[in-house]
């Protein structure tokens, strides 16, 4: 090839790497970074500087590219946390004449990759909430219909008053204590979901959330993951001697926002111990165990604190977030 042809191919390759929306990292057999595009760099802290020629472990200690090179096998569509983002990653060994000379990883922020799917998932969640409400109210309507046919009008009136009182009490509670509409939405959705599973989800009476909750997106992620984990734990528990109960406490204080989610499940598996907040720490199977790891990183980014207290009587997740970012 002529020099100008080589230059053209080099520039073309660079343009391709910078134009795609996925982060690309390539390393040699020593784990030294040989290629690193802008999209990959944007996901990592700026203070790490230029990665070319440096060890990958300084940037992504959990990349698993060494494993790919040692085994010579590819990984596709695997979850991984990069910085503060949950990404979907593909890892492929680079071979010449059957010999591994390096590896390449491509990854993309799951929120960007599944943007449309996320919107559909949100719609699906709303549908599930409406479905659970419809199921609940259809049962009551059938009861009312039966009572009317039996001329039990006093019981019908009493049942309607109870339903109205229950709905009004819930509305009054949220209007007085949990005023942020996004927080209210996720809590109501989880309450209906828990009711379908035979679990009582209770919001503590002393909870207080302002109209504009500090760090709203992080709080929504914490609540979503913590309540889902609590429901799964209770479903896996074999406890007939105590009620299936999840208690949520959210309170805005002078300098912080505290969140606590307690369940009556079996507690955290002893073998996990302090590793519960690490990537992939779970006993639920492959591809799980990234929810609490992501929550932990989000809390750490805000200079907050996160703790897990566990016993055979249940588990409690405690999070403290400063009201102002540090």
Strand ranges across the sheet with 99-109: 33-36, 23-28, 99-109, 85-96, 75-82
CA-to-CA distance for 102 and 36, rounded, in angstroms?
14
CA-to-CA separations, 75 to 45, 86, 104, 137, 141, in angstroms, rounded? 25, 16, 11, 47, 52
Query: Given this model, what pLDDT does residue 325 score?
Result: 55
CA-to-CA distance for 293 and 245, rounded, in angstroms?
24
Query: Given this model, what pLDDT does residue 114 score?
Result: 55
**pLDDT tens-digit map of 282-319:** 555 444 445 677 788 788 888 899 988 888 888 999 99
Are 300 and 320 spatial neighbours (Cβ–Cβ below 8 Å)? no
Strands 75-82 and 85-96: antiparallel
pTM: 0.57
Model confidence band, residue 14 (pLDDT cutoffs 50, 70, 90): confident
Residue environment code for 69-81, b if the CB has 16+ CB neighbours within 10 A, otherwise e: beeeeebeebbbb
CA-to-CA distance for 26 and 263, rounded, in angstroms?
44
Could you count the other beta carbons within 10 Å of the beta carbon of residue 58? 12
Could you count the other beta carbons within 10 Å of the beta carbon of residue 133? 14
CA-to-CA separations, 196 to 29, 129, 135, 183, 257, in angstroms, rounded? 53, 10, 9, 20, 30
Model confidence band, residue 124 (pLDDT cutoffs 50, 70, 90): low
Model confidence band, residue 271 (pLDDT cutoffs 50, 70, 90): low
**pLDDT tens-digit map of 90-122:** 999 999 988 999 999 998 877 666 555 545 655
């Amino acid at each position: 090839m002529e020099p100008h042809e080589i230059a053209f191919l080099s520039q073309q390759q660079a343009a391709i790497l910078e134009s795609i929306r996925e982060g690309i990292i390539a390393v040699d057999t020593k784990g030294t970074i040989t290629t690193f595009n802008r999209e990959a760099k944007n996901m990592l802290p700026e203070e790490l500087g230029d990665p070319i020629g440096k060890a990958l472990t300084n940037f992504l200690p959990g990349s698993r590219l060494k494993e790919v090179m040692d085994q010579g096998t590819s990984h596709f569509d695997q979850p991984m946390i990069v910085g503060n983002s949950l990404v979907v990653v593909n890892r492929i060994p680079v071979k010449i004449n059957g010999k591994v000379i390096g590896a390449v990883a491509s990854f993309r922020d799951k929120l960007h990759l599944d943007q449309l799917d996320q919107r559909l998932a949100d719609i699906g969640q709303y549908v599930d909430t409406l479905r659970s409400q419809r199921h609940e109210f259809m049962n009551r309507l059938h009861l009312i219909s039966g009572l009317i046919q039996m001329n039990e009008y006093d019981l019908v009136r009493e049942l309607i008053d109870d339903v109205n009182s229950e709905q009004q009490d819930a509305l009054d509670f949220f209007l007085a204590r949990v005023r942020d509409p996004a927080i209210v939405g996720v809590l109501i959705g989880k309450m209906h979901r828990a009711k379908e599973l035979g679990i009582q989800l209770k919001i503590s009476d002393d909870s207080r959330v302002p109209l504009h909750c500090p760090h709203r997106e992080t709080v929504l992620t914490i609540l979503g993951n913590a309540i889902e984990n609590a429901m799964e734990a209770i479903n896996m528990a074999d406890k007939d001697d105590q009620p299936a109960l999840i208690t949520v406490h959210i309170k805005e204080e002078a300098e912080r926002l505290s969140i606590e989610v307690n369940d009556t499940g079996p507690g955290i598996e002893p073998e996990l111990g302090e590793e519960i907040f690490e990537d992939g720490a779970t006993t639920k199977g492959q591809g799980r165990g990234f929810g609490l790891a992501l929550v932990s990183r989000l809390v750490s980014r805000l200079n907050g604190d996160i703790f897990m207290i566990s016993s055979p009587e249940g588990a409690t997740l405690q999070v403290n977030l400063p009201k102002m970012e540090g």
